């Protein structure tokens, strides 16, 4: 039976220039491959070794990129290896099959959101009312499913984050702070639900997963085995669960380690 490998992308397998700073001094930096360009500027990288490992993984398992990025943002990425037959975007809101949205899946997601949590407009209004221009740089809506802010992290008051998270929790939403982005996402909008759907369609009986943020916790819990790097929200809070391995590697080298673990798991 096929092995399904569902992995977060940003700060798990691919890294921005800012995230590369987590890795090591310049003199010891590994050779990098650019995997994302936007407006003629390179944005995201992985090591050349990781690129080779991902190519091997594409032949050994059903590899499913699993990201909070919108479809447009995901499609900017040019990953090495075979083109994935499935990809999960917008935190599970869109399931791409051969690059095209599965409209039935998206309709099921929308119906669940309407039944189980406060509407996006209410969350947007709360963000607009309470966010301070001193630290707020941008406010965005992704795929009409969730909202996020781009913030000056060093100016963002921790008390505001806690108060907003408590407000959102009571309305069926979760809050996640990743680098300079603060996400407000409906609780029913999960990567794990979409991964379960891919497992059903492919007949996979073993699922492996990796991720670094609070929005990846449900994905890791849904997998048979999971890995988190030594950086990110989950590492910062010491989050662990049965079947989850906490890796010591931080930054872009964590991507290499995760891919090695995926290959070992797929080949057993």
Interval 26-75: pLDDT, tens: 667 789 999 999 999 999 999 999 999 999 999 999 999 999 999 999 99
Enter the tokens of residue 140: 């965005």
Closest listed residue to residue 34, CA positions, set 69, 80, 75: 80
- At 144-187, the pLDDT tens digits run 999 999 999 999 999 999 999 999 999 999 999 988 899 999 99
Q: What does DSSP assign to residue 24?
A: -
| Cβ proximity of 218 and 209 under 8 Å | no
For 151, other C-beta atoms within 10 Å of its C-beta total 23
Burial class (CB in 10 A: 0-12, 13-18, 19+), 13: buried
Give residue 45's pLDDT.
Answer: 96
- In the chain, the percentage of residues whose pLDDT exceeds 70 is 98
Give residue 178's pLDDT.
Answer: 86
Class of domain 118-186: alpha beta
Please state which CATH number belongs to domain 3-110+189-267: 3.40.50.1000
* Residue ranges, CATH 3.40.50.1000, the chain: 3-110+189-267
Give residue 30's pLDDT.
Answer: 85
| Cβ proximity of 229 and 11 under 8 Å | yes
Calculated CA dihedral for residues 104, 97, 75, 224, nearest 10 degrees: 100
For 183, other C-beta atoms within 10 Å of its C-beta total 20
Give residue 179's pLDDT.
Answer: 83
Q: What does DSSP assign to residue 213?
A: S
Which pLDDT band holds residue 1 (cuts at 50, 70, 90)?
confident
- At 94-128, the pLDDT tens digits run 999 999 999 999 999 999 999 999 999 999 999 99
Give residue 76's pLDDT.
Answer: 96
Q: On the CB side of 262, how many CA atoms lie within 13 Å of its CA?
A: 34
CA distances from 32 to 17, 25, 42 (A): 11, 14, 12
Q: What does DSSP assign to residue 26?
A: G
Sign, CA torsion 249/56/198/19 = positive
Average pLDDT of the chain is: 95
* Residue ranges, CATH 3.30.1360, the chain: 118-186
């Amino acid at each position: 039976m096929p092995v399904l490998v569902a992995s977060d992308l940003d700060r798990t397998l691919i890294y921005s220039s800012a995230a590369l700073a987590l890795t090591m001094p310049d003199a010891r930096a590994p050779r990098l491959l650019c995997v994302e360009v936007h407006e003629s500027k390179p944005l995201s990288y992985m090591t050349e070794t990781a690129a080779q490992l991902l190519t091997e993984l594409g032949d050994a398992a059903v590899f499913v990129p699993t990201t909070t990025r919108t479809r447009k943002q995901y499609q900017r990425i040019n990953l090495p290896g075979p083109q994935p037959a499935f990809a999960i975007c917008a935190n599970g809101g869109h399931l791409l099959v051969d690059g095209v949205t599965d409209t039935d899946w998206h309709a099921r997601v929308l119906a669940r959101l309407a039944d189980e949590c406060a509407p996006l407009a209410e969350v947007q209004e709360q963000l607009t009312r309470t966010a301070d221009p001193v630290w707020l740089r941008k406010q965005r809506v992704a795929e009409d499913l969730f909202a996020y802010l781009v913030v000056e992290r060093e100016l963002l008051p921790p008390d505001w984050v806690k108060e907003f998270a408590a407000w959102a929790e009571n309305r069926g939403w979760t809050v996640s702070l990743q680098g300079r982005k603060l996400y407000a996402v409906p609780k029913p909008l999960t990567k794990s639900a979409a991964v379960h759907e891919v497992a059903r369609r492919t007949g996979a009986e073993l699922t492996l997963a990796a991720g670094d943020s609070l929005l990846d916790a449900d994905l890791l819990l849904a997998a048979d085995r999971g890995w988190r790097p030594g950086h990110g929200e989950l590492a910062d809070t010491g989050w662990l669960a049965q079947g989850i391995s906490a890796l010591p590697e931080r930054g872009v080298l964590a991507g290499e380690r995760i891919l090695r673990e995926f290959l070992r798991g797929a080949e057993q």
